[in-house]
Amino acid sequence: MGKNVVATKKAPSAIGPYSQAIVIPHGLVFVAGQIAIDPSTGTIVAGGIREQTSRVLANLSAILEAAGTGLQHVVKTTVFLADMNDFTAMNEVYGLSFPEAPPARSTVEVSRLPKDVRVEIDAIAYLPR
């Protein structure tokens, strides 16, 4: 009974020594922080916080799907923003992915994010039975 690594080409490859996600035997999925990289091009998506948040959530969704679950089973997220002034716009896009029973969440402003993106989001989900 160990941990299982999740990897999918439908989301960006890890840019360091970490896994896209880990599933533990108790049915929890821990998804690494995702940034706005388009997996088909390997580049940061064009646009501002709305476009970046949308791409980040698409990346999270792809990884969760590869793990056998989905956004509807997310119980906790952490949102890292480069600028808290982006909170309202990020929140509007984020809310579209969690229309009912949204997960618990923390949102913090940080001084810098990988590749100078505007937003990074990680997630914890469970596997449906």
CATH value at residue 86: 3.30.1330.40
DSSP H helices, the chain, are 49-67, 87-97
Chain Cα centroid distance, residue 40: 17
Listed residue (68, 66, 65, 40) closest to 55, CA to CA: 40
89 burial level (CB within 10 Å; 0-12, 13-18, 19+): middle
Q: pTM of the entire structure?
A: 0.96
One-letter amino acid for residue 117 of the chain: V
Number of domains in the chain: 1
Instruction: Provide the pLDDT for residue 129.
Output: 84
For residues 91-99, average pLDDT: 97
Structural domain including 76 reads: 4-126
One-letter amino acid for residue 89 of the chain: A
- Distance separating alpha carbons of residues 39 and 12, to the nearest angstrom: 5
Judged against a pLDDT cut of 90, whether residue 73 lies above it is answered with: yes
Each residue's pLDDT tens digit, 10-19: 999 988 899 9
Average pLDDT of the chain is: 96
What is the phi-psi region of residue 39: left when phi exceeds 0, alpha when psi lies from -120 to 50, beta otherwise?
alpha
Dihedral of CA atoms 4, 72, 97, 10 in degrees, nearest 10, equals: 30
pLDDT grade, residue 101 (50/70/90)?
A: very high
Judged against a pLDDT cut of 80, whether residue 1 lies above it is answered with: no
